[in-house]
Each structure stands twice: as structure tokens, then as C-alpha cells.
A and B are shown apart, each in its own frame.
Chain A
């Protein structure tokens, strides 16, 4: 693949933004650092969702199932063997007696997410519209139910703790960058363009020989792998996790990030994730104590969610095509006229 300068700018915009956030994380105080890291992991998750939902135009509520699988796989496999015997007593012996390091756990999560998405996608990718939305939602419900109740593969309804907290500023930044680069390469490739064509007009795409089912399945698999990877980043950031943290609320929040940024562009996914997490962090700081930005902010206890939801709704009503208008990042002066 060869890229023009304009194409590289499309990649550099989101990449530089993520690197700046990563650098800010290293200069922030210990209590503030977690906000930046959270934002970077959100970028990875939202970019994973974008790869399927944004490029194919098919709504999916199921991508967080792959985040959940990745998070729990990476989490269970990195708890040190000696502590596992005490806390994860019910799981299969083979899982109990082995542990892996940080990087293998990220790869394992990506592989599992991809395989799971491929298997689920084979039948489901024939659907589109609301039927696809509901069917993928059903996948989320089943994944959550099984992870929560089947104690042979994980901690069940209890908290999975003692996961090494390896997602620092470096890993979060690199992780978000990996997601962005993979998404960029995919959407610039022939397969990505075929899928995008099928989003714009399925009938025409089919008439020129695009196998929509196959293209969607490929995007769903790539998205699943990235989501699993992002889930691993997430669990290594939190250090402990429950099934409720990778369920409905995260699904709605990440979808809202994507739509607020602009559903149809990688730049939109990154901007949306950073804008909403930034707003959320700002509001939770303001709820704890005064925040000085030009004038002093203090939020009444418990009003953070009210403001967050109201601002999200307001942005969607005023700018339905998202903050970026669904366009990729461009530098005006580099564009030939």
C-alpha cells in the first residue's frame, strides 16, 4: 500500500492527539493521571467499535462483549499462579495452574476477541438495520450472563482482583496508537473501501460484485480483535474488574462517544472518545472540589451524570453529524485546489 501525503495526515492527526494526551498523563499528578489513562483506553475501545460500526454503517451493541472477553481473559491469565489458588478456586485447573506475562496477555485477548467475533459474526453478519442491532445486543447479554454465572472460566459475579496494573502512560498510549494504526490501515485497504462502498449504497455495491457478508465479517473480526485488545488494556489499568463494568453502561457510553465524535470517521472516533472522557473527568473533579477554569466551578454532589448526559444530548441535537462532522482529519493548506 502506498499513501499520499493527505492520507498520512489523516493518520498523523489522531496519532499526535493521542501522543499529546499520553504526554500530559506523564506530567499530571498521580491522582489526575488515571483520567488521562482512562481517556486513552476509551480511545482504543471506541476505535475498535468504529472499525465495524463506522465503516460498515451497521449498528452493533455487541462490541463490548469482545472487550469483556478480552478483559477477563487477560485478567485471569495474569493473576500470579500463587494467588490464583486462593482467589479463583473454582476455575478449570489448566487456567488455575498457568499464568502469562503482560504482553502475551494482550495478544491472547486480541486473538480471543477476534476468534469470538468471527464465530459470532458468521451467522449474524447477514442481518442489517435494527435486526443486526438487536442480534448483537443479544450477544452482549449472553456473554455477560455466561461470564457472570460460569465460575469455571472466571470469577463469576465476584470481583476479579490482583491483576497486575501494567497499563501506565506508555502502554495506554501505545495501545491507543496500535488501535488507530490498525483501523487506519484497514479503512485505507481495498477491503475497507469495499465495505465503505456497501455502507453508502448496498444495492450498487452488490451489483458490482462486493460480497457484503464477507466484508462485514472481516470488519467484525478486526473490530473484535481490537476490542479484545482494548479490554486487556482496560483490565491492566483497573487492576480489578467485575462483569458489570464491561456491560450496558460501557456499551452506551462508548457508542455515545463514537456518535458524538462523528460516526463515519476515525478522527471522529478519537475526538469523541477524548472529548467525552475529558468532560467526564472534568465534571468528576468539579464534583470533588473547586476547579479553576477562568472562574471557579463547583458541582453539587451527584450532579455529574446529569450534566454529562445533558451535554451529550445537547451536542447530538445541535450537531447530529458529530463534532468532526464525520470527516477525517485534514490540514487545509496541504490540500491541492
Chain B
């Protein structure tokens, strides 16, 4: 019982908060994967760029600061597509992935140079920090940002679901995600669909930048790097072939990490990554196509 007793409402609140942020990142990664078949490792650096924008515009009104964060992230996301993803469209998955490693390192190195102009590492984004204060709900302290995160995630997911199911561009995107070549033959314009996916994924990265910066206002070049890696793992564990299984995977890994952290004895919490990644291996072995990919077995392509 001791394990269950340690998982209280407080922990559940944190778990939902982190799960919501990871779900947003999972959608951003999953959308681009859907149309480009590209695992974008540099997604975290988009978030990092947004966080730096928030830090450097700390003196501005909060709204202006957040708008500029979104603008920078979307612009960077589009530039990444134009300069890197487009020439790579016909390359093998390994080449695409390794190129995004290189881009991630490139952006991190650039951020380091910009950051070090004032002689010390890290910048503080102070203007939106008040969201990090706790409010008491039924005797449990929950940080305001948890509500905001869950709210933003739900709102963004519902809006995206509506766009994907009710609009032409959404229909085109879904068609491209299930079979790009056939969709193109049927008149779907590749560049428009990809630009749509890239912009939406950039907007989501901007939102995540705001939410993560509230929780951790100290921005460094490796900001969000660890989160991105965990979300990438979660996306594959959930099932990267479909957007909703990828999203659930992202949510699940955030949610489960917080719960496992709470369940471990205090002197053993340093082994949290081992426990989480051992779970990842078990899930992958049992359901290689994805934890939530029900009803479809991974069939080997016939000759």
C-alpha cells in the first residue's frame, strides 16, 4: 500500500501537467512525421529558441513577449523546413534523423554564442513567472501553470482535431499522412500540406516554450533537450504512425514518469530513468507497433 499512498492528489496534478505539455510536443513531432516521415530531433531547439525569446523580451509587456516568442519559433520552423527538410525529402530515415541531430547541435551552438555575450551562461525569463505560484484547491497546492498547461493542451488538441477533420487543408494533411504519393496524384499540393504541418508544429513548440519557461525560467542552450528526447521515446512507444496514438504516448510517458518518481523510495529516485526506460523496453517488446495501436499488427511487406 505504501506505493499507492505516496501517489496523492498533488502528484496526480503534476502528472497531468507534465503529461499535457508532453502531449503538445508529441503532436508537434507527430504532425511533421506524418507528412514528411521525418523524426525531427531538432524540435527541442525550436522550443529553446522560443524560451530565449521570452528571456530577452522580459522587459516587454507579457502579451508582446509571448507573441514574439511564437513569431520566432514559427519563422525558425519554416526556415528549417525550407533549408533542411525540403532537400532531404527523398533521403533515407537514418540520414534525415542524423541531419536533424546536426541541426540541433548547430542551433544549440548558436544559442551558446548569443547567450555568452553577457559573459555568463543562462538567461532568466522573469515576466511570466507569476504563473508558477501555487493555488490551493481542496487543501492541495496546485501551481497555476498546471491548469494553464492542461487547458492549453486540451484547447489546442480540440482545435487541431477540428481543423484536421473539418477543413480542406486538414483533409489534405490526413490524406498526405496516410499515403503521400497517392495524395499527390489526387491533387494534394505537397508544399502547402507540409507548410501547414510545419507551421502548426511551430505554434505548438511556441506554446510549449511558454509553458516550460514558466516552470523553469532559467533558460540555457540545452533547454527542453531532455524533454524532447523523452517525448520522442514516448511518441514511438505510443505509436508514431498515427497522430492520436503518438499524442497519447507523449502524455503517457510524462504522466508515468511523475508517478514512478513519486512511487520510488526517496533514496532510489536517482534510478528513475532506469525504471522508466526499462518500462519503455518492455512495452516495445510487447507492442512494437505502439502501445495504443490497437487492431493492427505490424505486417511484413510482401515481396
Chain A residues proximal to chain B, CB less than 8 Å: 59, 123-124, 126-127, 130-131, 133-135, 137-139, 141-142, 144-146, 149, 201-204, 206-207, 248, 252, 255-256, 259-260, 263, 302-303, 305-306, 308-310, 312-313, 316-317, 320
Contact = CB atoms under 8 A, between A and B. Distances in A.
Given A203-B300, A252-B105, A305-B108, 17 more contacts: A127-B288, A130-B39, A130-B93, A130-B240, A131-B289, A134-B284, A135-B285, A138-B277, A259-B95, A263-B92, A302-B112, A305-B112, A313-B99, A316-B88, A316-B102, A317-B88, A320-B91
Contacts of B110: 306
Nearest to B105: A309
17 contacts: A59-B93, A126-B285, A133-B236, A135-B281, A142-B277, A142-B278, A144-B273, A145-B271, A149-B270, A203-B302, A248-B229, A256-B98, A305-B112, A306-B106, A310-B102, A313-B102, A316-B99
Contacts of A202: 300
A156 to B, nearest CB: 10
Given A134-B233, A134-B236, A306 B281 contact: no
Contacts of A59: 93-94, 97
Contacts of B99: 313, 316-317
A131 B284 contact: yes
Given A134-B236, A306-B106, A320-B92, A142 B274 contact: yes
Query: Secondary structure at chain B's binding surface: helix, strand, loop or mixed?
Result: helix
Interface of B: 39, 84, 87-88, 91-95, 97-99, 101-103, 105-106, 108-110, 112-113, 116, 229, 232-233, 236-237, 240, 270-271, 273-274, 277-278, 280-281, 284-285, 288-289, 300-303
A13 to B, nearest CB: 23
A263 B93 CA distance: 12
B190 to A, nearest CB: 18
A256 B103 CA distance: 12
Given A131-B236, A305-B105, A306-B109, A316 B288 contact: no
Contact of B102 (A123, A130, A135, A256): A256
A204 B303 contact: yes
A306 B236 CA distance: 30
Contacts of A260: 98
Contacts of B280: 134-135, 138
Given A59-B94, A317-B84, A309 B303 contact: no
A8 B154 CA distance: 62
Nearest 3 interchain pairs by C-beta:
A309-B106, A305-B109, A138-B277
Contacts of A137: 233
B271 A313 contact: no
Given A146-B274, A303-B113, A203 B102 contact: no
Contacts of A124: 281, 285
A302 B303 CA distance: 51
B106 A313 contact: yes
A212 to B, nearest CB: 10
Contacts of A302: 109, 112-113, 116
Nearest to A320: B91
B52 to A, nearest CB: 16
Contact of B301 (A127, A203, A310): A203
Nearest to A313: B102
A302 B117 CA distance: 11
- Which of A124, A133, A203, A255 has the most B CB atoms < 10 Å from its CB? A133
A312 B278 CA distance: 33
A213 B277 CA distance: 22
A138 B273 CA distance: 9
Given A127-B284, A316-B98, A306 B113 contact: yes
Contacts of B229: 248
Contacts of A149: 270-271
Contact of A309 (B102, B236, B240, B274): B102
A207 B301 CA distance: 13
